[in-house]
Structure formats: C-alpha cells, structure tokens
Amino acid sequence: MQNPGNSPAESLGEEISIGNTLLQLLKQEQEHLIHANLDGLTGVTEEKTKAVTRMTELALRRHRTLAAAGFEASESGMQRWVATAPAALIKSWDDLLGLAREAKELNRTNGLLINQHMTRNQNALNVLQGNQNGSGMYGPNGQATSKNSSRTLVVG
C-alpha cells in the first residue's frame, strides 16, 4: 500500500472542490457576458484565473505522484492507476472528469459569446468610422463606391 501522501488520489477532493468553484465562476461569467456587465466580468475573470492556476498546480502534483508510482505522468496514466483503485477513488476520478467536461463546454459557450460581442463591437466601430464594406453607396457614374480606392500612377 502506498503512503497516502504519495498517492495520485491525494488531491482529488481539492480538485473536485475547485472544479465546482470553477463551474460556478464560468456560469457567472456567462451571465455577465449575456448582460454585457463588464464590471462583473472583470472580477469573475480574476477569480477564474486563480481557480485554473490552482487546478493546474494540483494536476501537476498528481502527475508527479503518478510518475513516482511507476505510471505515465498524464491523464491516461491516471486512468490506468484508477483501474486498480478502490471504488470510492474511481467515483472521485469520474466526478472530476465530469466537471472537466462541463467546464470545457461552458468555456466554449462563453467563447462564442465573447466572439459575438467582439463582432458587434467591430461592426459598430466600422459604422462610426465609415468603414462599411459594401456600404450600398453609388458614385455619379452609377458604380458602387468604396472607401478603399486606390490611385494609379502612370509614369511615362
């Protein structure tokens, strides 16, 4: 039996706890994105960064203990280690993987919301700066006008 301080499962409880915190932060981030609440978004982003940093530290520690136990220092190594573990540890690992999947999906959705905001903001800037592509304006010759006109230089 391994020393509990050297077990890859040592930090699973904390990883699950921080994973739940991260999920809540991602949900808050989504609400702030939906309502365009930039002030709230700033605070959530800082907390989210702290949670992700801590999760990364714990995963690295888990990988080191896996390597010390003779397993590959990766998620696949953890999967092989868990296959020999008691049922409670298997459940904890499955719970952590479920949290990771849910966080990944929330993060993907939040990324889509951010892209929508960026596109809307860029379109507004283009209108304000008069940079509309295909503005629908026609010149005196009946041809569509473009802000990106170029001059031809003839050297003779």
Provide the residue range defining the domain that includes 43: 10-129
Cα dist. 127→37, 59, 138, 139, 144 in Å? 23, 47, 17, 19, 17
The answer to whether residue 113 is domain-embedded is yes
pLDDT digits (tens, 9 = 90+) for 99-147: 999 999 999 999 999 999 889 888 888 888 887 555 556 666 766 665 5
Instruction: Tell me if 142 is assigned to some domain.
Output: no
pTM for the model stands at: 0.76
Residue 70 three-state SS = coil
Query: Into how many domains does the chain fold?
Result: 1
Number of Cβ within a 10 Å radius of residue 53: 11
CATH number at residue 61: 1.20.58.300
54-112: per-residue pLDDT in tens? Answer: 999 999 999 999 999 999 999 999 999 999 999 999 999 999 999 999 999 999 999 99
For tokens 């939906």, the residue is 34
